[in-house]
Amino acid sequence: MSSLQYTPERAAELKQNIEGVLAEVRSAGTEKSRLVAISKIKPSSDIMALYDAGHRHFGENYIQELSDKAKELPKDIQWHFVGNLQSNKVKLATAIPNLFALESLESIKKASLIETSLASISPPHPAPLNVFLQINTSSESNKQGIPPISSSTPLSPDVPEILALALHVVKECPHLRLLGLMTIGSFEASHAEGTRNPDFLRLVETRDTLEGILSSTEGVEKGSWGRKEEGGLELSMGMSADFKEALKEGSDNVRVGTSIFGSRPTKP
Ligand SMILES: *Cc1c(COP(=O)(O)O)cnc(C)c1O
């Protein structure tokens, strides 16, 4: 049996699951809200089943696993990398021609490494690689990402990390496109009932603040960041436990794994 072969039963189950999630995305989101099926630890045959059902955006958080799956799966899948990209794995990521977005950029150093790597690839990728800056909205020390900002954050004497990184990507990295901001948020906030998720609100405020600064910064060309057509930065927030709330708060990109594929074994 090929690694892409799925059973009709599993395909039917996956299709039903993703249709349930897509129905929520359509009703609570906007026309443009994107569902990224997070397939980490799940077999390529699961991805193939959803591909055959018409789905194209998939996400992974281990780069070796993404690289292996990208090689055997159809080349028009749009891959999202949502994990921590170590410096020694940058080349593995940039070698994936259909990597749609790196959702977890958190340092200038990493941006420069990715830029240099992309610049050396032959044939070159047809479009700049979309990046989201990962924001640690819950300020948890075990979470990746840089601090959020608000309209009251001072911009001097120390430039906030997010602004320095955004300007670096926009001005110094022609092979990258700053598409948006991503957050994971705290487990407690995502499971609290009846309150608005403060981590999502912080990401919205950070996005609004950063857009305001970028729009009024000299030397930053209009159209050089954000969505190509409509402009503006995207928000990537919301997972299985909280994607409905995230859509209500304006998420453009929800990352859903368990609700589509079922629970994952805990990694040893
Ligand atoms: C695993 C993962 C998800 C999906 O989580 P579920 O709870 O299974 O929906 C989303 N985003 C990131 C960054 C992840 O690592």
Residues 40, 43, 46, 50: what is their CA dihedral angle, to the nearest 10 degrees?
A: 50
Give distance in angstroms: CA of 132 to centre of ligand 1: 15
- Kindly give the number of the ligand 1 atom that is closest to the alpha carbon of 241: 7
On whether the CB atoms of residues 146 and 117 are closer than 8 A, the answer is no
What phi and psi, each to the nearest 5 degrees, are found at residue 153?
A: -70, 125
Q: What is the pLDDT of residue 9?
A: 98
Whether the CB of 82 sits within 6 Å of ligand 1: yes
For CA atoms 130, 131, 137, 143, the dihedral sign is positive
**Which residues sit opposite 177 in a β-bridge?**
130
**What's the rounded Cα separation, in Å, for the pair 265 and 267?**
6
On whether the CB atoms of residues 130 and 179 are closer than 8 A, the answer is yes
| Average pLDDT of the residues in 207-211 | 98
- Find the farthest-apart pair of alpha carbons in the chain and give their distance in angstroms, rounded: 61
123-181, pLDDT tens digit by residue? 999 999 999 999 999 999 888 999 999 999 999 999 999 999 999 999 999 999 999 99
- Kindly give the number of the ligand 1 atom that is closest to the alpha carbon of 259: 9
Give Cα separations from 19 to 24, 125, 239 (angstroms): 9, 32, 16
Give distance in angstroms: CA of 82 to centre of ligand 1: 8
- Kindly give the number of the ligand 1 atom that is closest to the alpha carbon of 263: 8
Q: What is the pLDDT of residue 71?
A: 98
- Mean pLDDT of all residues in the chain? 95
3-state secondary structure of 8: helix
Q: What is the pLDDT of residue 32?
A: 85
Q: What is the pLDDT of residue 268?
A: 54
State pTM to two decimals.
Answer: 0.96
Q: What is the pLDDT of residue 1?
A: 60
Whether the CB of 240 sits within 6 Å of ligand 1: yes
| Average pLDDT of the residues in 188-195 | 84
3-state secondary structure of 250: coil
**What's the rounded Cα separation, in Å, for the pair 254 and 243?**
6
19-78, pLDDT tens digit by residue? 999 999 999 988 889 999 999 999 999 999 999 999 999 999 999 999 999 999 999 999
Whether the CB of 145 sits within 6 Å of ligand 1: no
Whether the CB of 38 sits within 6 Å of ligand 1: yes
Name the region of 42 (left: φ>0; alpha: ψ -120 to 50; beta: rest).
beta
Q: What is the pLDDT of residue 266?
A: 75
Q: What is the pLDDT of residue 29?
A: 82
The CATH number for 82-261, chosen from 3.20.20.10, 3.60.20.10, 3.40.50.880, 3.40.50.970, is 3.20.20.10
